[in-house]
Amino acid sequence: MPEPRVTFEIAFVLVVTVVALLLLALGRLSPDLVAFGVLLVLFFAGVITLEQSLSGFSNQAVIAVGAILVISAGLTSTGVAAHLGAWIRRAAGNSEVRLIALTMASVAVLSAFMNSVGACAVLLPAVVAAAREMNTPVSRVLMPLAYGSLLGAMLTLVGTPSNILASGVLEQSGYEPFGLFEFAPFGALALLLGIGLILLTRRRLLPVRGGGAQAATPGVEHQAYRLDERLFEAVVPADSQLAGQSLMAAGIGEAFGIAVLAIEREGNITVAPAPGEVLLAGDYLLLGAREADIDRLRQVHALQVQDRVRLGADALRAGSLSMTELVLRPRSGLVGQTLEDIDFRDRFGSTVLGIWRDGAPRRTRLAKLALEGGDALLVHGPPVALRQLRDTPDFVVLTEDAETAPRARRAPVAVAILLLFVLGLMLNVAPVAIMGVAAAAVMVLTGCVTMDDARSAVEWRAILLIAAMLPLAEAMQTTGTAAFLAERSTESLGTFGALPVLAGVLLLTFFFTHVMGNHVTAVLMAPLAIDAAVRMGADPRMFALGVALAATSGFATPYAHPGNLLVMGPANYRFGDFVRMGLPLGLVTLAGSFILLSLIFGV
């Protein structure tokens, strides 16, 4: 095969790729915005045609990913996945080892056929409850939950978009796409290695943290979030300017950053008073604020601040009101917005008392705090409002169980649809995209998921990111960029055979997946790996499999995969916790994949 020369097109594609990688790594711009920028630059530079620039939006892999997200929503809304969580609680007993092993195995089974983040989310409440029942810190079980969802995604073609994308690039290169269970031996080995390593090293590598989802225990939420440190009580004197004003007109929250949590008047307590509530002389106010803000309020409005807090956080449980903890999904459209932006109180009928982030609670000036994926929110409100939050796709409520699933009676139908979907793929009835669309459509038609929920289930940012990045992968192939990079990589390692090159591909993919995510990594690395295999005379399937497996191994940072972010807040994890446990786990599973690939393909 002739050695590719550096042409203008190759140099241009390399520059665009490097700039895109830097922008993705810095995180200053939205990944989908970066992807569309790459697409437009390549088109206007004449590197790709109009048809090539739009080809990603009709790509089978993109359609398949969207369809599988809808199938996942059907399994979630019917309570199929949550029933598995209830079984975990019963089967684990009082054994931490059994709980970790069952959690990882169960979420792996779900992740093999549904979105891994969704699988992690639906089991999260049950795993938290099981840990509380056996008095085990949730930080010892939620990281295994997140890692199990990643390991399970390696079991099947439809387990993760990385597998589907690698298969699509393989097919575009003229080879047969992967079968549904072609990943199974590698995923099974990775899962066994992962469970074994975590069980053996759990006492040394899994952190023990307080806070976070400990707050989900009824009656102690305010202790975990340390609400009492920010609670003050004050009396409205007759000569205060506040007497006779509504809370909205008084502007206590807007001007001073103080939340009026409750009002006691003539022995009656009004919790979470409405903005239109009028303050009267003699009202006893329960306030959430910093001491400096309370001092400013006292000076301006002559409030009589009490030396002792008489009502305290327990007053917030008056009547039918209660507290619960929920987690913001990492890919929610609410990420980046403030509670004020989304009008949280009016929209959901409840109040956010605290936000747990980066190992510490935030309890004041929450209205203007931009939300981040994985934030744990301590929410206070009536049961109907908490049920509304449970049915919102943006949050995972930590007290949810299988019986509360909105369409639980459709669970057998959802299971039957999933089994037919799997059977159709096994028998090669139709490509994965067509089978996925058919299964998703039947989920909607049979009432397993509503059309609105189906639309909400599709992670449009991820879909657009993949669709916009696929033309870059095509440009790498058509311009000879992939061949050029493959030639350079095989020059140094190729003299030692295919295995050193495969090892390099695995390690490079593992690194990139922590920098820019598994979707982009699979799109960029698959063409390079396939070209390298062709130049080495090795089987391209082996290298494409390696890329898919390594791209799914985002264990070492909380930002490498949304599942990691999802458990970060409830478990009060820190960045270093993922490095300490995830890096050895990633290297062990990569080594296992490397050995099994060499054995199966006879290299």
Give the separation between CA 303 and CA 590, rounded to whole angstroms. 64
Helix, strand, coil percent values for the chain (each to nearest 5): 60, 10, 30
For residue 120, give both structure tokens. Answer: 């992690």
- Among the four given CATH numbers 2.60.40.10, 3.40.190.10, 3.30.70.1450, 2.40.128.110, the one describing domain 221-317: 3.30.70.1450
Task: Tell me the mean pLDDT in the region 10-36.
Answer: 86
Task: Tell me the mean pLDDT in the region 443-458.
Answer: 89
- Among the four given CATH numbers 3.20.20.140, 3.20.20.450, 3.90.1150.10, 3.30.70.1450, the one describing domain 322-404: 3.30.70.1450
Higher pLDDT, 415 or 495: 415
Chain segment 464-490, per-residue pLDDT in tens: 888 888 888 888 888 888 878 877 777
For residue 81, give both structure tokens. Answer: 């996945």
* Lowest mean per-residue pLDDT among 51-65, 101-115, 142-156, 538-552: 51-65
**Top-ranked range on mean pLDDT: pick from 178-182, 282-286, 532-536:** 178-182
pLDDT of residue 320: 56
Which is nearest to 542 in space by CA: 589, 595, 490? Answer: 595
Residues ≥6 apart with Cβ < 8 Å to 276: 246, 247, 248
pLDDT of residue 231: 78
* Lowest mean per-residue pLDDT among 260-264, 333-337, 359-363, 571-575: 359-363
Q: What is the mean pLDDT of the chain?
A: 84
Q: How confident is the model at residue 321 (pLDDT cuts 50, 70, 90)?
A: low
pLDDT of residue 217: 46
- Residue 26's Cβ-count burial label (10 Å; 0-12, 13-18, 19+) is exposed
Q: Locate the domains of the chain by residue range.
A: 221-317, 322-404
Task: Tell me the mean pLDDT in the region 244-253.
Answer: 82
pLDDT of residue 272: 74
pLDDT of residue 439: 94
pTM above 0.75, yes or no: yes
Task: Tell me the mean pLDDT in the region 213-225.
Answer: 50
CA torsion sign for 263, 268, 274, 279 is negative
CA torsion sign for 552, 555, 559, 563 is positive
End-to-end CA distance of the chain: 21
CA torsion sign for 598, 156, 100, 117 is positive
Give the separation between CA 44 and CA 475, rounded to whole angstroms. 13
Cα separations in angstroms, 116 against 9, 69, 548, 603: 38, 10, 15, 32
pLDDT beyond 80 at 59: yes
pLDDT of residue 313: 56
Give the separation between CA 389 and CA 396, rounded to whole angstroms. 8
Query: Looking at this protein, which amino acid is placed at residue 451?
Result: M
Q: How confident is the model at residue 238 (pLDDT cuts 50, 70, 90)?
A: confident
pLDDT beyond 90 at 316: no
Pairing of strands 395-397, 360-362: unpaired
pLDDT of residue 403: 47
List, in sequence order, every beta strand (DSSP E) within 321-454: 322-328, 351-357, 360-362, 376-381, 395-397
Give the separation between CA 452 and CA 386, rounded to whole angstroms. 20
Q: Do domains 221-317 and 322-404 have the same CATH topology?
A: yes
pLDDT beyond 80 at 441: yes
Task: Tell me the mean pLDDT in the region 353-364.
Answer: 79
pLDDT beyond 90 at 547: yes
pLDDT of residue 495: 66
For residue 76, give both structure tokens. Answer: 């979630």
pLDDT beyond 90 at 551: yes
Higher pLDDT, 309 or 63: 63
Q: What is the 3-state secondary structure (H, E, C) of 284-317?
A: EEEEECCHHHHHHHHHHHCCEECCCCCCCHHHHH
Q: Are 24 and 515 in contact (CB under 8 A)?
A: yes
Count of alpha carbons within 13 angstroms of residue 559, beta-carbon side: 13
pLDDT of residue 402: 45
pLDDT beyond 60 at 4: no
pLDDT beyond 70 at 494: no
